[in-house]
Structure 1
Amino acid sequence: MAAARGVVERGRRAASGMARPARTAALTLLAVLAGLSAGEPARADLSDDAARVARMWSLSGARVARLPSLFIEHGRTRLVAITPPPAGTASAPGAAGTPGAAGAKADECLTAAFLASRIVEFTLETSPLAGDVSALEGLVQRLRGRDPDEERRVHSVAGAAVITRCGPAREELGRVAVEVLSPRGAFDVVVASSSGPPERIEAILPERAFGPVAPRGDPGRPAEPGPLDARVVRAARRARAEGALRVVPTDMSSSVVGTGQFSVKLAEGCHRIDLMAEVPSATVRRATDLDAEAREGGTGRLLDRDRSDAPDGRLDFCLGEPGVVEVPFLGAAGPVKVVLSDAQWPLPPFVPGHFGARARGNLAAALHRRHAPAPRAQPIAEAVGAQGDTLVPVQVEPGRCYFAAAGLVRGELRGLRLSVELGDHAGRDDAGDRSEGAGVAFCSELEESAALRVGARGNSPVWVLAVWPMD
């Protein structure tokens, strides 16, 4: 037995001696790999890009400051104050200068660089100088195919946008409006004051540069809409085919620049307003492209807006009570006849009116926009909510269908979303930027409850929710 134990012990020592060089080699390889990974430069992030821009501009003699980081969601325009960095400003986050900082010369250039992720798309817009463009001059420029607001707007390229203003034009950078076209984005802002325009972002951050963009093709002149009388008849026939109770036309003459405003008294109900302008017989004329708005008389509340490229304008909205609606327009081809054709549908029955006329009209608009059948019974559930996301559980009957609508009662909206979750099924509706009501239909198979969620964003919005059983 002792001899056997000795043989086993010698075998273990031999195996340990053979394994020691292998472990040493493995540790050496890991150390080499760790050294290589430690020596490899880390991938640059947004803060590194902003630091690189600030450093390169500082080396060229500019006074540089970095503003605190921003986070902006889609649909929320952020105004950013830009002031010249004071003398001796360090290029560190939050080291922006204060208004009236010393060191700015009259002929210096002020530059603001907004950096985001390369997949974020956004625009920058500066404020015009006082008295630079009057309202009438802006209207005339738009009719000539130029948009003064678009000329001040800077579009991002690969997540970066830069605005430079020199001399007295630096006042335009006092407030810069940032609008995110992507779902959301985080921003670093670098501000520089220099004797001339600083080095371009593409040279400092070559990874954000790309090749030339092909110019847009010329689609040619817009299609002629045809004779005015025939278009008025077609609009009335189309509305009656969709169930309109009546269609009432009103006409006026536009101004020499193709603008005007209707003021019409409308009954309660859902309305579709078609705006159509006469086409002059002259060979050389401006193209007809009516853009219009519908606003509640007295309060000025926007009911609908049309900014399409179609020759005629169209506005859809619902009124919870009779009232005066103002319809300003532009885009007619000079002093010509303009017709407003109002098609009216009655308010659906059983739409609650105890929340006020505005809520009544918005709930009816959600039904009308979804082409839902008129409810034949009172709502089985009602709820009131405010800003944020609200969960509203509703008891339902298996084998029955329902329609839920949410409408604004008061306040201002930037977005309204209504969604429903029922078993394995889900649906949602977004009101959009031109509506104050959202609606969604759903059916229960075996479920006895549904989860409705209302998300409201805006300035102190208050909304109401109603759920109707549908046959």
Structure 2
Amino acid sequence: MRAVRSGCLGAAALFVALTDAAPARADLALDVARVERAYRASGADVEVLPTRFLWDEEVLTVRLDPKPSTCTTVALVAARGTSFRARLGGIEDREARDRGASIAGVTELSRCDDAPVERVVVSGDAGRGAVEIIVARGLFVAPTLRSILPERTGGVVLTTSEPGPQPTLAPAHKRVESAELRAKSEGAHIEATEKVNVRSDGTGMTEVELDPGCHRIDLLAHEVEGGARARFDVDAELRDSDDETLLARDRSEAADARLYACVGVPVLGAVAFAGAPSSGKVSRVHASWPIPDAVTRAFGPHARARMAGALLSRGLTRLPGAPVWLGQGGSGLTATPVPVEAGACYVAVVAATRGRMRQLALRASVGALESADERGAQEEGAAIAFCARDRRFVRLEVEARGANPTWALALHRVQSGVWELKR
């Protein structure tokens, strides 16, 4: 009897799962049909590609038939909870205007020139599920998704109550000057400040060349002259233009956005932002620092960049010499006794070398004293400083959790202290 009841419960659970998924599939199919009808009604040649399944943080490359046409429009439609980015590929692979981010599970990309569209590259940000791709080719740009699927692209914006007076925000040129002065005081190399155009929806894109080293990019929005004073909150992302790897993201509540990333090889970065005043300007302040020479090259350029990022973001801009001890490990908690010089002080730095980190922590135990850095998962690096006092060994612990993660550890001797003897 118990077995029969268990089977009934299993069948009931399966029925509930199927009935929950069915409306989602039906809604997606209806949306695709609406887009296809609207594209055909505009006189375009329409092609609906086979359904693709997108996983979280996966990158899909979908090949397109590069048919000759004046304008090519690619619409991507997924479930509302799916967040992704897309770009068109072809002769002009790195054109910022050929990129877009989904809103409520949809986005569209258009190109009207002689460059054929050979592929569309889709990068998952959050959520997973089916992605439908509709391609329209014709003499003109196909109708916008805002007109076809208004419920997916914002629709009517309701009036909201005013939460209170806006905090005083310095003019943009003053904020730019402050960002440049701060970078100079920190010994950074500063590129020429550039102004980036903002689209009517408050979004924009720009590209930035990243040499090996650590980079800080400030995006400071300008208020539109003659317009009403409005609140704004600029959010931004920095990605590798070649493979869409996420390098940095800022989704804070601050008015301006700040991105911080370290790279071990030259990278052409693509910066996408949103939340700026409509049709205005955003100033881009780019400061950079070289990787300290003492950071080891033993584990490759990417691990070296992550080590530099962990050190520089914690104010450790210089190291006196090469590491005195190196180690490697994998997933889980790894504890190692490391020989040290009594009275000396050290800096330990750990960085991911492979896999996807969900947790990365570094700890050093000197007797009853412990130094710890448990903030390393996001930037895939952590650093601590400690003094050996009267000890000949310290206990170093690395805790790494994630998808098949491996890490590398370097220990640097930074100075000798006075060994305090008990009297």
Normalising by structure 2, we get a TM-score of 0.61
What secondary structure sits across from 1:377 in the alignment? coil
1:67-95 Cα shifts (integer Å, max 9, x gaps): xxxxxxxxxxxxxxxxxxxxx99599975
Match of 2:183 among 239, 245, 260: 239
Match of 2:203 among 235, 242, 259: 259
Which one has the bigger strand percentage?
Answer: 2
Alignment of 1:31-430 (within 5 A): 95=10, 97=12, 99-100=14-15, 220-284=164-228, 286-430=230-374
Q: Flag structure 1 segments of 5+ consecutive residues without an equivalent.
A: 1-87, 109-128, 137-146, 150-173, 176-216
Q: Does 1:468 align with 2:383?
A: no
Check conservation: 1:291, 1:306, Cα contact below 8 A: yes
What secondary structure sits across from 1:415 in the alignment? strand
* Deviation of 1:451 (Å): 0.9
Amino acid at match of 1:458: G
Amino acid at match of 2:355: G
Structure 2 Cα separation of the partners of residues 394 and 364 of structure 1: 22
Structure 1 Cα separation of the partners of residues 20 and 341 of structure 2: 74
* Deviation of 1:401 (Å): 0.3
Check conservation: 2:83, 2:104, Cα contact below 8 A: no
* Deviation of 1:391 (Å): 1.4
Give the corresponding residue for 2:31.
none
Check conservation: 1:350, 1:376, Cα contact below 8 A: yes
1:325-370 Cα shifts (integer Å, max 9, x gaps): 2211101010111111111112112111231111011000111122
Give the corresponding residue for 2:401.
457
Q: CA RMSD in A?
A: 3.5
Give the corresponding residue for 2:38.
none
Structure 1 Cα separation of the partners of residues 318 and 395 of structure 2: 23
Answer with 1 or 2: which has the greater Rg: 1
Amino acid at match of 1:424: A
Check conservation: 2:80, 2:104, Cα contact below 8 A: no
What secondary structure sits across from 2:12 in the alignment? coil
Alignment of 1:16-35 (within 5 A): none
Amino acid at match of 1:97: A
Structure 1 Cα separation of the partners of residues 216 and 22 of structure 2: 55
* Deviation of 1:256 (Å): 0.6
Check conservation: 1:387, 1:458, Cα contact below 8 A: yes
Give the corresponding residue for 2:51.
none
Q: Cα gap change, 1:285/1:421 in structure 2, threshold over 3 Å: closer, same or farther?
A: same
1:155-174 Cα shifts (integer Å, max 9, x gaps): xxxxxxxxxxxxxxxxxxx9
Check conservation: 2:364, 2:396, Cα contact below 8 A: yes
What secondary structure sits across from 1:97 in the alignment? helix
* Deviation of 1:265 (Å): 0.8
Q: Cα gap change, 1:330/1:224 in structure 2, threshold over 3 Å: closer, same or farther?
A: farther
* Deviation of 1:267 (Å): 1.4
Structure 2 Cα separation of the partners of residues 272 and 218 of structure 1: 34
What secondary structure sits across from 2:308 in the alignment? helix
Structure 2 Cα separation of the partners of residues 441 and 134 of structure 1: 41
Structure 1 Cα separation of the partners of residues 162 and 226 of structure 2: 23
Give the corresponding residue for 2:57.
none
* Deviation of 1:312 (Å): 0.7
1:187-232 Cα shifts (integer Å, max 9, x gaps): xxxxxxxxxxxxxxxxxxxxxxxxxxxxxx9852543533222211
* Deviation of 1:236 (Å): 0.3
Q: Cα gap change, 1:301/1:106 in structure 2, threshold over 3 Å: closer, same or farther?
A: closer
* Deviation of 1:248 (Å): 3.3
Structure 1 Cα separation of the partners of residues 210 and 390 of structure 2: 45
Moved more, 270-279 or 318-327: 318-327
Q: Flag structure 2 segments of 5+ consecutive residues without an equivalent.
A: 24-76, 85-102, 106-127, 130-160, 416-423
Amino acid at match of 2:14: P
Q: Cα gap change, 1:260/1:101 in structure 2, threshold over 3 Å: closer, same or farther?
A: closer
Check conservation: 2:349, 2:383, Cα contact below 8 A: yes
Give the corresponding residue for 2:49.
none
Amino acid at match of 1:288: F
Give the % identical residues.
35
1:236-284 Cα shifts (integer Å, max 9, x gaps): 0011112213343222101110111221111111111111111113443
Normalising by structure 1, we get a TM-score of 0.55
Q: Cα gap change, 1:409/1:248 in structure 2, threshold over 3 Å: closer, same or farther?
A: farther
* Deviation of 1:291 (Å): 0.4
Q: Cα gap change, 1:92/1:356 in structure 2, threshold over 3 Å: closer, same or farther?
A: same
Q: Cα gap change, 1:131/1:384 in structure 2, threshold over 3 Å: closer, same or farther?
A: closer
Give the corresponding residue for 1:12.
none
Alignment of 1:428-443 (within 5 A): 428-443=372-387
